[in-house]
Structure 1
Amino acid sequence: MTSTAPHQSILDKPFVLDLFAGPGGLDVAGHALDIPSLGIEWDKSACLTRYAAGLDTLHADVSAVRRDAFESLPPEINVLAGGPPCQTYSVAGHGAGRKNLEKVKKYIERLTAGEPDEAIDEELKTLSDPRTALVLEPLRYAIQATRSPNRGRRPYDVIVLEQVPAVEELWYHYAKVLQETGLPDGTRYKVVVGVLDTEAYGVPQRRSRAVLIARREGLVAPSLPVPTHRSYDAKEWNRKNKKAEAADQARQPTLDEGTAPEIDEGHVSGVESLQPWRSMGEVLADPVGTHPGRVTPFLVRSNYGSSGVSGRRGVRSDQQPAFTVTGRISRFVVFQHLDEEIVYEGPRFSMNEAGMLQSFPPDYPWSGKAQAQQVGNAVPPLFGAHLLSAALGLPAPDPKVLREPWQPASEEKRAKLRSDGCGAPDDCTARCPRSEDQVAPPSSERPRRTKKKTPAE
């Protein structure tokens, strides 16, 4: 699987270390760009997916590798990337990370000032949810690279990070210290930060991500990827739809059947050259690989609340981008239309379809348990390809590459990858992490409910 764009990278031989690699979104992006990568992932099922996909993987805890096995990493790695777990920062989570933003900023400053890891590690143990501290790991890896004899104490040339929008504030603090203070050895970076919408890069899904791209001083200053598609505006969509319905009722000319209302974004600079956002139907209607094609038109009702109201379930048609794909994607109800009067519940999204809505190639070999959660947690590969292309100075990726069916690894290849990643060709070993080691304390940051007293009390 190769990109049609010629390589003009700012680096001679890019090699990506993907922290918190999940089932492989960023690695698939690298694969589409002919860029090698090594992923570190602690979840067993996500690793099984990665092995099945043929991706180089270490089944390990990111923090443990930094502390105990950093010297075993390939010294030629020059791009650090990753999306630390977002549960404690996401608005859908308990909010421990958001409540500790100022504390985490102080840790960033102390790390870049060269304070010993041991002292900081002891304090991090006091955080109510240990996952909050994982957002520091990319910085700690960047610092460790400058202390590694195996690398010749050479810093990473490029850093690419992505997270939920709530982490934008931390990324800006990362940028401040990387530019002004630098790493303890004096290495500084030029950095850009922003919140980007994935549908503006061809992903058939409404999803916003806070991103950071840094390049070592001496290289050309970085820039964020240029959008290729229009952003989706739900209010504008609804307004256009109401106008179309009114015109239809008045027997006036209206939009052709199956055509999405055109959103006027003339106020956006350069919007004339942008393609329309991609819809669910555009991606799922046609058969490809083992995907038989989904009957259109259809409606999708999300499993989570809309507009901040938990009981209000959002509904979208096949002519719109998907809701943000989360671990609940398998619970989304899909309604098929027989005619204007009859609607029935059709088959829910398969994991293959859910992956395609994330821009994974058709037939990506989802494996192990909690596959819907794997899909929801992943970086959309097409979006990841745009991030890597911008970070490395490459042309925008060719989206057609990611629409071709993925060829799973052979059994022999899987056994080799698992032997390298777990220590045995057919099982995990004592060196593999246990999933319970990174589970959040129960109800650690949930608000307490005050019991209402009865008159008798």
Structure 2
Amino acid sequence: MKAISLFTGVGGLDFGFEAAGFETSVAGDFDRVACDTVSINRPWPLLRGPIDDFSSNTILKTARLSQGEADVLIGGPPCQPFSKSSYWVSGDSKRLDDPRADTLASYLRVLGDALPRTFLLENVAGLAFKGKDEGLQHLLNGIKKINRKHGVKYNVSIAKLNAADFGVPQRRERVFLVGHREGRAFSFPDPTHCEPSLAGESGLEPYRTAWDSIADLVDAPLEEGLAMTGKWADLLPSIPEGENYLWHTPRSGGLPLFGWRTRYWSFLLKLAKNQPSWTIQAQPGSAIGPFHWANRRLSEAELCRLQTFPDGLRFDCGRTDVQKLVGNAVPSLLAEVLARSIRSQLLDSPLAEPLRLIPPSRGAPPPPEKVKSVPKKFRELIGDHADHPGTGLGQGAKRLAAGELVLGTEA
């Protein structure tokens, strides 16, 4: 089955559709490093540059497809205007006024010109926030215009999914839109995994964990540069697995070194062997996790495993670029689950074999790593620290609004 891929990135969606029996007939992205990485790993025809640099005819010609022949159009338009950080900074301003939201129009343009049998669009959960859903309404209105113009019946189903609920060893929420050209209704798959404490009564499998995902890489050679650096490096070993800086606040079990919720959630965030990973960040600062339980950064192979990419991917770029590529991607197992549902419900071609990208269940992990005491140099921070005043009211948000910080950096 033939897929047209827009905003491909490193190929997270594509790897999942590939595992479900689809072929990427054309891929496209403006990011040079992403395109170079795709070309190293897959023979997909590749358009390098902004999508609007290429006419829909060029996209179809590169894919060797005519209008209406593609089985699916997939893509995740860049999401910055609809992220939670954007809401904190810009308040009630219109997200569609952000020029980065033009990618939604680009996706709609190709959808209307290519007229694939089905489509899937992925974006951040903020796209569908109540009262802040201009982007979602823009998409739905655009699809209605396509239906009227071409006499088709794209019927859109929308869901917010947590990747961990489908066997991905990572907690990551995203919004998905799926539609069928002839108006068939699509039902998103039900979760297959849940918190271990609920697994017995629900009949679902317990969440796949970081241990399930990367345990067999423990003895693998590690690339250089994984040691944590910076001001807070020596504090990380004093934080237990699965915790972050909140451990060292008055409301938790450590020392009162910080105020409650006065830092980013991912500040000094550490994986726990018996839990899914927290969301992999695309642009972490020196103290932004998740970090390995061995108090270091995650390796390339570990990052890819936690995103359920197929094994064996190669990178010819620096650590920062690898983190960006992986952190911006869709977990490939979640894409495989959705691709299989699209095949079964909308394309009359179900697959019987097991999921290809789901990590094995490795059973109970070893005990948590021992926690070290807080180094003396940090004990001068002990004190009565005020809690964060509320969303959008902290000093970091004010500095962001004033243009003094870049999103994703340490506040």
- Common fold by TM > 0.5: yes
Q: Provide the residue aligned with 1:4 in structure 2.
A: none
Taking the TM superposition and a 5 Å limit, the aligned residue runs for 1:259-408 are: 262-263=197-198, 266=201, 271-272=202-203, 274-287=204-217, 299=241, 309-310=262-263, 313=267, 314-328=269-283, 331-332=288-289, 334=291, 336=293, 346-369=295-318, 370-393=321-344, 394-395=350-351, 398-401=354-357
User: Do 1:179 and 1:190's aligned partners in 2 also have CA atoms closer than 8 Å?
Assistant: no
Secondary structure at 1:69 match in 2: helix
The structural deviation recorded for 1:58 is 2.0
* Equivalent position amino acid for 1:310 in 2: R
1:447 aligns with 2:371: no
| CA–CA distance in structure 2, aligned partners of residues 179 and 130 of structure 1 | 23
Secondary structure at 2:338 match in 1: helix
Q: Provide the residue aligned with 1:43 in structure 2.
A: 31
Q: Provide the residue aligned with 2:82 in structure 1.
A: 89
Secondary structure at 2:263 match in 1: strand
Taking the TM superposition and a 5 Å limit, the aligned residue runs for 1:86-125 are: 86-93=79-86, 99-101=93-95, 104=96
Check 1:190–1:91 CA distance in 2 against 1; reply closer, same or farther (3 A cut).
same
Q: How many residues align?
A: 316
* Equivalent position amino acid for 1:79 in 2: V
Match of 2:179 among 214, 221, 226: 214
Secondary structure at 1:88 match in 2: helix
1:344-396 deviations in Å (ceiling 9; x for gaps):
x5432101101111111233213324110101001110011112122222348
User: Do 2:209 and 2:277's aligned partners in 1 also have CA atoms closer than 8 Å?
Assistant: yes
The structural deviation recorded for 1:207 is 0.5
User: Do 1:20 and 1:85's aligned partners in 2 also have CA atoms closer than 8 Å?
Assistant: yes
Secondary structure at 1:16 match in 2: strand
Check 1:359–1:34 CA distance in 2 against 1; reply closer, same or farther (3 A cut).
same
User: Do 1:303 and 1:332's aligned partners in 2 also have CA atoms closer than 8 Å?
Assistant: no
| CA–CA distance in structure 2, aligned partners of residues 227 and 29 of structure 1 | 17
Match of 2:99 among 123, 130, 139: 130
The structural deviation recorded for 1:403 is 5.4
The structural deviation recorded for 1:181 is 7.2
| CA–CA distance in structure 1, aligned partners of residues 110 and 151 of structure 2 | 15
Q: Provide the residue aligned with 2:409 in structure 1.
A: none
Normalised TM-score (structure 1):
0.61
| CA–CA distance in structure 2, aligned partners of residues 287 and 372 of structure 1 | 18
Check 1:66–1:403 CA distance in 2 against 1; reply closer, same or farther (3 A cut).
farther
More contact order relative to length (CA 8 Å, sep ≥ 6):
1
* Equivalent position amino acid for 1:141 in 2: V
Check 1:398–1:171 CA distance in 2 against 1; reply closer, same or farther (3 A cut).
farther
| CA–CA distance in structure 1, aligned partners of residues 13 and 164 of structure 2 | 17
The structural deviation recorded for 1:100 is 2.4
User: Do 1:42 and 1:60's aligned partners in 2 also have CA atoms closer than 8 Å?
Assistant: yes
The structural deviation recorded for 1:178 is 3.4
Secondary structure at 1:310 match in 2: coil
The structural deviation recorded for 1:137 is 1.7
The structural deviation recorded for 1:41 is 1.1
| CA–CA distance in structure 2, aligned partners of residues 306 and 221 of structure 1 | 48
Check 1:301–1:361 CA distance in 2 against 1; reply closer, same or farther (3 A cut).
farther
Match of 1:69 among 58, 67, 78: 58
Q: Provide the residue aligned with 2:109 in structure 1.
A: 140
| CA–CA distance in structure 2, aligned partners of residues 325 and 397 of structure 1 | 29
Check 1:210–1:301 CA distance in 2 against 1; reply closer, same or farther (3 A cut).
same
1:388-422 deviations in Å (ceiling 9; x for gaps):
12222234873444659xxxxxxxxxxxxxxxxxx
| CA–CA distance in structure 1, aligned partners of residues 328 and 279 of structure 2 | 11
Secondary structure at 1:262 match in 2: helix
RMSD: 3.6
1:167 aligns with 2:127: yes
Check 1:279–1:98 CA distance in 2 against 1; reply closer, same or farther (3 A cut).
farther
The structural deviation recorded for 1:333 is 6.4
Check 1:281–1:90 CA distance in 2 against 1; reply closer, same or farther (3 A cut).
same
Normalised TM-score (structure 2):
0.67
| CA–CA distance in structure 1, aligned partners of residues 149 and 261 of structure 2 | 43
